[in-house]
Structure 1
Amino acid sequence: MTTNSSKPRYLAGLLLRLAIPCGILAAGWFGFQLLAEKVERPSRPEPRKVLLRSRVEEIEVVDYPVVVKTHAVVQPHNQVTLTSQVSGTVASINASFEVGAYFNKGDVLVEIDPSDYQTALSVSESELEVAKSELKLAKLVEERKLRLVESNAVSQGEVETASASREQAEANVALAETQVEQARLNLGRTKIVAPFDGRVMSKLIGIGQLAGTNTPLGEVFAIDYVEVRLPISGEQREFLELPEFADDAPIAVQLQDGIRQANDSIWNGRIVRTEGVLDADSRDLFAIARIEDPFGRTSGTKPLRIGQPVIASIEGTLLRDVIALPRAAVRQLDQIVLVNQENQTLLPLMVEPLWSDAEKVIVPSKSVPKGMWLATTPMVFTPKGAKIEIIPPANPTITIAESTSLETDESVTN
């Protein structure tokens, strides 16, 4: 009896133990099936196709005048150091002998005390008078001896002695005249005279100071014209006809302020000669430009000062049948992008510039195919044959920055 009643309980417990794992497995399978169902997602929109965009310019064949630009510094053509040829105390200084002051040729700039030299001149003139008197007496004695020798009153030796005395007196007169002339020169040298029209660069002496022979008194420079030493590179020389000989025609040059370029003052000059030696470091050839009346004393122009940096513009060769490309549209000086006028497709092109400056790159007209526009908007990617959208030149709402942004978006989408 006991055995028969325990058997159902055993089976029920066994089934219960089996049902729990099976329930767990069934729940897991149901959850897997539920999660494994495909989730419907909205379809992604097609990527928006954006065309390359650029502004374009007409390509024109022109004759382009080359203008060579170079930098230099204004310098005087004649700068000298005034020195004293005699020694003495500085007695007076002209008011024009101050730094920056103007003076004229012949002005007495500095005067040394002339007292000693006036005395020396008086002494030498007195010695000259004595020598002349001795010469007069010697001539009288010689003449008298010559008359007496005819009557044998004196010997021939006395006549020769009188003649020798006369010759000695003549030599003494000549020496005395030379000493007078030297004394006059020394007296005149007490006045230091301006050798040309000019200005004072530096003053090295003062009143009461003792000046010795060859003592520097100051530096002065001429103002009739100034010179500018212009470096010309080998590439620039190909487009210039610089004067080589004295009878060669000068070349016109314009100078502008190299410190403050907003200054609209222009100084006109002429390249009058070139140096015969290339610079050892740069291999540049230096051309010498001359500017008349640099301080505007007669012309009324603004002064062109010594030591002032300038930018020189020299008109060179006229290049015929060329294309002047905007420098901003040329990458790395030899790469441009063209646009076919018929189908608006891109054509990247390598060019060989004849000349380039800050604004233009000049190329031969035959190097650019006909029927093309020049793309002027910077583009990151310019595949050959790619379709391009032309930005209307009259549309002010689209800027270069916006077009570049669109090009960047397109490259990311692709």
Structure 2
Amino acid sequence: MSDVRLAPENGSKKGLWLKRFLVLSVGVAIIGVTGAGLVGMNAAAPRPEEKEDVVEALPVLTTTAKAEEVKLKVRSQGEVMARSEVNLASEVSGRISYVSPAFLTGGSFSRGDVLVRIDPKEYELRVVQARANVAQARTTLKREQSEADIAKLNAQELGIDQVSDLALREPQVAEAEARLASTIAALSEAELALERTKIRAPFTGRVKAKSVDVGAYITPGGMLGSIYSSDVVEVPLALTDADLAALDLGIGFEANASKPGPEVVLSAVVAGRSYDWKGRITRTDSRFDPDTRVLFAYAEVKDPYGAGASDGTPLANGLYVSAEIDGRPIENAVTIPRTALRGKDKVYVVSDVDTLEIRQVGVASSDRTEAVITEGLQAGETVVTSPVKSPATGMKVQPVDEADARRGQGAVVASAANTQLQE
């Protein structure tokens, strides 16, 4: 009975293993077919096209450097000042009896005009008394001289050779002479005091301030007012070392007939209108200012209220003006727009193959519109005037002439340059 049970168990195990093998084979076959299909699909799919990187040229505005004979200009600013300004004070005491109609703030006067007069009666009496003393002293001197002459004659008649000075009245004559000299000095002093009752203008000018009026009592040293000259005004202009080189001026310069100072045009806005006045640099300081490191030059304008006025408008004291000074001429200079100058001494030059070159140049002068180049740049070369983002030597650029861009040509390129800069 035991053999009949063993046979069915062995058959069952063999069937189970057969089923498992068939299932595994079918799975492997499915995976293989799927993989082969995917490989075939990938092989049949179109390949993407490979593109080469293309560097686009940067659009820039350009202009051409020009060769010109230029005269350098230096610009500065300053405040108009009178050459002479004084405070009037009385040298004698007394009550003011007269004030000139011109002696009021803003009034004009000429040299020698009487501006203020102090009551002269007391000083006139002193002059009369001093003259009387002089006359008396002269009479005394004459009497003593006559008596001295008589004494000499008497001594000669008596044949006396040895006569004392006192007998000849020589001390008395010397005393009379000294008294006369003293009275003459007193008369001069009285006349001077009388003259000082008239306060005259020491120069042609204008009244800055008035401090007294008729009836006021003034003492020696008392202030009467303040006046300034109007024949010449000057403007101190701050100049750097580079400005001095452009003007060909040195420290301690003084203009003369053989070397007059540079011409200056002063300008200012008065009552809403622009005016210009012409003058010259007449001198410079003998030292640099230790705080600002500048040296002051002084521009003078003659007769600023007359012939030197601009269309009837004087160059008045206290006016703040701009100055344009003529400098030395430069032959064969190269000029470019100020926008083409980068920093202090660099320009961007476009080569013949439209690549950028960063070049260092020598700058003689520059202002808001133009820069004058003396070395490092040739006339006819193309320079960039528009902003360039991240400039580098050798970068590709697409030049557009600035004049064409202004006329509307190349506007698309110029717009693209601005867009690239903003990005």
TM-score by length of 1: 0.77
> Which ranges in structure 2 are unaligned for 5 or more consecutive residues?
1-47
Q: Deviations over 1:113-151 (max 9, x none)?
A: 111111111111122222222223323333333333445
The residue type equivalent to 1:203 in the other structure is K
1:134-283 alignment runs, 5 A limit: 134-152=140-158, 156=163, 160=167, 162-242=169-249, 244-245=253-254, 247=256, 249-258=259-268, 263-283=273-293
Match of 1:311 in 2: 322
Cα distance change, pair 68–399 in 1 and its aligned pair in 2 (3 A): farther
Q: Does 1:402 align with 2:411?
A: no
Q: Deviations over 1:177-204 (max 9, x none)?
A: 2211211111111101111111111212
Cα distance change, pair 280–101 in 1 and its aligned pair in 2 (3 A): same
Most deviating of 118-127 and 255-264: 255-264
Q: Does 1:295 align with 2:302?
A: no
Match of 1:348 in 2: 357
Equivalent of 2:129 in 123, 126, 150: 123
Cα distance change, pair 186–360 in 1 and its aligned pair in 2 (3 A): same
Q: CA deviation at 1:302?
A: 2.2
Q: Does 1:285 align with 2:298?
A: no
Q: Does 1:375 align with 2:384?
A: yes
Q: RMSD between aligned alpha carbons?
A: 3.5
Secondary structure, in 3 states, of the residue corresponding to 1:402? helix
Question: Does the Cα contact within 8 Å between 1:233 and 1:284 map onto a contact in 2?
Answer: yes
Cα distance change, pair 91–307 in 1 and its aligned pair in 2 (3 A): same
Cα distance change, pair 399–237 in 1 and its aligned pair in 2 (3 A): farther
Q: CA deviation at 1:111?
A: 0.5
1:329-340 alignment runs, 5 A limit: 329-340=340-351
Match of 2:44 in 1: none
CA distance in 1, matches of 2:325, 2:417: 38
The share of aligned pairs that are identical, in percent, is 25
Secondary structure, in 3 states, of the residue corresponding to 2:262? strand
Equivalent of 2:368 in 354, 358, 364: 358
Match of 2:112 in 1: 106
Secondary structure, in 3 states, of the residue corresponding to 1:62? strand
Q: CA deviation at 1:59?
A: 2.4
CA distance in 2, matches of 1:173, 1:370: 88
The residue type equivalent to 2:361 in the other structure is E
Match of 1:87 in 2: 93
Cα distance change, pair 242–100 in 1 and its aligned pair in 2 (3 A): same
Secondary structure, in 3 states, of the residue corresponding to 1:256? strand
The residue type equivalent to 1:193 in the other structure is R
Question: Does the Cα contact within 8 Å between 2:80 and 2:320 map onto a contact in 1?
Answer: yes
Secondary structure, in 3 states, of the residue corresponding to 2:247? coil
Question: Does the Cα contact within 8 Å between 1:53 and 1:390 map onto a contact in 2?
Answer: yes
Secondary structure, in 3 states, of the residue corresponding to 1:144? helix
Q: CA deviation at 1:293?
A: 1.0
Secondary structure, in 3 states, of the residue corresponding to 2:77? strand
CA distance in 2, matches of 1:158, 1:375: 106
The residue type equivalent to 1:127 in the other structure is N
CA distance in 1, matches of 2:412, 2:90: 72
Secondary structure, in 3 states, of the residue corresponding to 2:188? helix
Question: Does the Cα contact within 8 Å between 2:67 and 2:334 map onto a contact in 1?
Answer: yes
Cα distance change, pair 153–141 in 1 and its aligned pair in 2 (3 A): farther
CA distance in 2, matches of 1:275, 1:304: 23
CA distance in 1, matches of 2:315, 2:169: 72
Question: Does the Cα contact within 8 Å between 2:347 and 2:358 map onto a contact in 1?
Answer: yes
Secondary structure, in 3 states, of the residue corresponding to 1:368? coil
TM-score by length of 2: 0.75
> Which ranges in structure 1 are unaligned for 5 or more consecutive residues?
1-42
Most deviating of 282-291 and 379-388: 379-388
Question: Does the Cα contact within 8 Å between 2:96 and 2:215 map onto a contact in 1?
Answer: yes
Cα distance change, pair 149–267 in 1 and its aligned pair in 2 (3 A): same
- Aligned pair count reads 366
CA distance in 2, matches of 1:73, 1:315: 19
Secondary structure, in 3 states, of the residue corresponding to 2:71? strand
Question: Does the Cα contact within 8 Å between 1:254 and 1:312 map onto a contact in 2?
Answer: yes
Q: CA deviation at 1:381?
A: 4.6
CA distance in 2, matches of 1:220, 1:214: 16
Q: CA deviation at 1:259?
A: 5.6
Question: Does the Cα contact within 8 Å between 2:59 and 2:414 map onto a contact in 1?
Answer: no
CA distance in 1, matches of 2:413, 2:204: 58
